Amino acid sequence: MANIASQKKRILRAERERLENRRYTSAIRTYFRRLEASAAGDDAEVADADHRHLVSLIDKAVKRGALHKNTGARKKSRAARVRAGEPSA
């Protein structure tokens, strides 16, 4: 642990920010699995809703800085391929 007060605060803030980023990335993985399941189940309406929610979540994570913009674009592209029924890479 640091001795300097500002560094102690910085360590606490970094931990809070790390947990917030983990929430975004974990939710994105969860909704991606949900999208794969609904796409495999041939339920187009549910798959479209899951896809919209996933893309929104990815955009929010990129805007906030939890994901790099290229990572977000890659995840959105893969989600679109899953929704379209193409095999995932």
Query: What pLDDT sits at residue 42?
Result: 80
For residue 1, tell me if it sits in a domain.
no
Query: What pLDDT sits at residue 88?
Result: 59
Query: What pLDDT sits at residue 47?
Result: 92
- Domain with 62, as residue range(s), is 22-84
Rounded Cα gap, residues 10 and 59, in angstroms: 27
Rounded Cα gap, residues 85 and 34, in angstroms: 14
Rounded Cα gap, residues 23 and 59, in angstroms: 14
For residue 46, tell me if it sits in a domain.
yes
For residue 63, tell me if it sits in a domain.
yes
For residue 89, tell me if it sits in a domain.
no
How many beta carbons lie within 10 A of that of residue 67, not counting itself?
22
Domain count, the chain: 1
For residue 9, tell me if it sits in a domain.
no
Q: Model's pTM, two decimal places?
A: 0.84
For residue 15, tell me if it sits in a domain.
no
The amino acid at residue 76 is: K
What's the pLDDT band for 1 if we cut at 50, 70, 90?
confident
Rounded Cα gap, residues 71 and 56, in angstroms: 14
Please check the confidence at residue 10 and state whether its pLDDT lies above 90.
Answer: yes
Query: What pLDDT sits at residue 13?
Result: 96
Domain at 61, CATH number: 1.20.58.110
